[in-house]
């Protein structure tokens, strides 16, 4: 065997080894665990995690397998932030504003009272500064956050008594999360956050006087209309975006193609949820309106809306003063909304007033 043949043989062995290595990497199955805030088989929200996991597995030809644990399994509906941060789970599906008690600035990435509508907010996330600001904030906690599905404009909630003035809000015990809870507290109400599974009992036993959950898409099955007949239109959650949370170390372990597959699966599942929410709300509202004619749809009096707006602005100013990143996010959102809203006014709003 001459030198050239040995060299050829050597090169061919190296090439074979490299190809084998590549083939092994391409076959390697990555298993991820996901904890969601919702009970097992919860409609719409739970469909979103299953949809995302199924797309990721199919698109990766079986190389990505995601196990979903519902609240029934991990028992910590509002513990997703901690469980993903610590690495107990690789991923989570929840809502960013649930973490306001730990990191106040997280609440801006779900929805804001009197804030952007869903199309405006998606435009801000993907074409404005939304994604970059969310990454900047969650990076401090070694996590990534991605939009996780939108409910669309939410209803203002179920009330046992009519709200005729701001005096009716004083002492009102209401389940309402996010910044809206703080706005109501400023007007004398007593807001609280209670996980989905405990809401009906809390309302029935008068632990709370009122609650907001989502809208017809998810409210119908909860049965609130049987115990609280006043269904108010929304002001507090015009564009509630859920969240896929990711532990940064778990993300870094994935090859670039699987990261991209996950990005696409999460983004598609998020958009699917927005459309599913719209469809389910339309269907369920038709059912509610025909089967429960005692439901009274109400809009808060203008004096109440004005007081809520004023309290909202005052609280935002305090948050901006206390935190430079809160100010940065608020400035970005208000500048974006100002521009986008002019377009909304002359497009959708004008069309709807035809
Ligand atoms: Ca809600």
Give 151 Cα–ligand 1 centroid separation in angstroms. Answer: 9
Give 121 Cα–ligand 1 centroid separation in angstroms. Answer: 16
Decide whether 29-150+238-291+323-354 matches 157-236+294-322 in CATH topology. yes
Give 150 Cα–ligand 1 centroid separation in angstroms. Answer: 11
Q: How far apart are CA 261 and CA 66, in angstroms?
A: 13
Q: How far apart are CA 46 and CA 217, in angstroms?
A: 13
Give 146 Cα–ligand 1 centroid separation in angstroms. Answer: 19
Give 157 Cα–ligand 1 centroid separation in angstroms. Answer: 8
**Domain-wise residue ranges, the chain:** 29-150+238-291+323-354, 157-236+294-322
Give 242 Cα–ligand 1 centroid separation in angstroms. Answer: 11
Give 177 Cα–ligand 1 centroid separation in angstroms. Answer: 7
Residue 258 near residue 172, CB atoms below 8 Å: no
Give 152 Cα–ligand 1 centroid separation in angstroms. Answer: 10
Backbone phi, psi, residue 32, to 5°: -120, 150
Give 255 Cα–ligand 1 centroid separation in angstroms. Answer: 36
List Cα–Cα distances, 150 to 39, 269, 296, in angstroms: 18, 10, 26
Query: SS3 for 144?
Result: strand
Residues 6+ apart with CB under 8 A from 354: none
Give 85 Cα–ligand 1 centroid separation in angstroms. Answer: 24
Give 215 Cα–ligand 1 centroid separation in angstroms. Answer: 8
Angle at 317 between CA 315 and CA 321, to 5 degrees: 120
Check the CA dihedral 143-105-244-211 and report its sign: positive
Give 306 Cα–ligand 1 centroid separation in angstroms. Answer: 21
First to last CA, the chain: 88
Give 156 Cα–ligand 1 centroid separation in angstroms. Answer: 8
Give 47 Cα–ligand 1 centroid separation in angstroms. Answer: 18
Give 12 Cα–ligand 1 centroid separation in angstroms. Answer: 62
Q: How far apart are CA 76 and CA 209, in angstroms?
A: 25
pLDDT in tens, the chain (354 residues): 566 676 676 667 665 555 656 666 678 999 999 999 999 999 999 999 999 999 999 999 999 999 999 999 999 999 999 999 999 999 999 999 999 999 999 999 999 999 999 999 999 999 999 999 999 999 999 999 999 999 999 999 999 999 999 999 999 999 998 899 999 999 999 999 888 789 999 999 999 999 999 999 999 999 999 999 999 999 999 999 999 999 999 999 999 999 999 999 999 999 999 999 999 999 999 999 999 999 999 999 999 999 999 999 999 999 999 999 999 999 999 999 999 999 999 999 999 999
Give 45 Cα–ligand 1 centroid separation in angstroms. Answer: 12
Give 27 Cα–ligand 1 centroid separation in angstroms. Answer: 42
List Cα–Cα distances, 51 to 28, 58, 194, 254, 304, in angstroms: 22, 11, 26, 20, 40
Residue 76 near residue 37, CB atoms below 8 Å: no
Q: How far apart are CA 68 and CA 136, in angstroms?
A: 27
Give 236 Cα–ligand 1 centroid separation in angstroms. Answer: 8
Task: Give, as one character, the DSSP assignment of residue 104.
Answer: G
Give 179 Cα–ligand 1 centroid separation in angstroms. Answer: 11
So what's the pLDDT on residue 9? 65
So what's the pLDDT on residue 219? 95
So what's the pLDDT on residue 6? 65
Instruction: Return the CATH number of the domain spanning residue range 29-150+238-291+323-354.
Output: 3.40.190.170
**pTM for the whole structure:** 0.91
Task: Give, as one character, the DSSP assignment of residue 35.
Answer: E
Give 194 Cα–ligand 1 centroid separation in angstroms. Answer: 11
**What's the CATH number of domain 157-236+294-322, 3.40.190.10, 3.90.25.10, 1.20.1730.10, 3.30.1360.30?**
3.40.190.10
């Amino acid at each position: 065997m001459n030198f050239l043949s040995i060299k050829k043989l050597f090169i061919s062995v190296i090439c074979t080894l490299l190809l084998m290595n590549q083939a092994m990497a391409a076959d390697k199955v990555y298993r991820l665990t996901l904890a969601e805030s919702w009970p097992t088989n919860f409609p719409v929200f739970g469909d979103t995690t299953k949809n995302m996991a199924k797309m990721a597995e199919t698109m990766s030809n079986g190389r990505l397998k995601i196990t979903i644990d519902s609240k029934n399994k991990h028992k910590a509906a509002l513990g997703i932030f901690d469980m993903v941060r610590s690495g107990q789970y690789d991923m989570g599906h929840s809502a960013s504003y649930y973490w306001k008690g730990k990191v106040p600035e997280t609440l801006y990435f779900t929805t804001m009272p009197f804030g952007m509508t869903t199309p405006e907010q998606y435009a801000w996330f993907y074409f404005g500064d939304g994604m970059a600001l969310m990454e900047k904030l969650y990076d401090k906690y070694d996590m990534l956050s991605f939009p996780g599905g939108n409910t669309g404009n939410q209803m203002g909630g179920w009330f046992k008594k009519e709200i005729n003035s701001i005096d009716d809000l004083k002492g009102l015990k209401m389940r309402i999360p996010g910044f809206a809870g703080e706005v109501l507290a400023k007007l004398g109400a007593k807001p609280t956050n209670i996980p989905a599974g405990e809401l009906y009992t809390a309302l029935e036993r008068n632990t709370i006087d009122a609650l907001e959950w989502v809208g017809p898409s998810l409210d119908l099955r909860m049965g609130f209309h049987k115990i609280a007949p006043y269904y108010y239109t929304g002001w507090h959650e015009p564009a509630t975006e859920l969240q896929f949370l990711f532990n940064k170390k778990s993300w870094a372990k994935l090859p670039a193609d699987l990261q991209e597959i996950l990005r696409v699966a999460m983004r598609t599942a998020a958009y699917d949820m927005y459309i599913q929410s719209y469809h389910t709300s339309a269907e369920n509202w038709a059912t509610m309106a025909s089967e429960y004619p005692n439901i009274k749809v109400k809009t808060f009096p203008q004096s109440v809306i004005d007081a809520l707006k004023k309290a909202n602005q005052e609280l935002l100013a305090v948050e901006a003063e206390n935190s430079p990143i809160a100010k940065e996010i608020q400035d970005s959102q208000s500048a974006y909304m100002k521009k986008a809203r002019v377009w909304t006014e002359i497009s959708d709003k004008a069309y709807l007033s035809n």
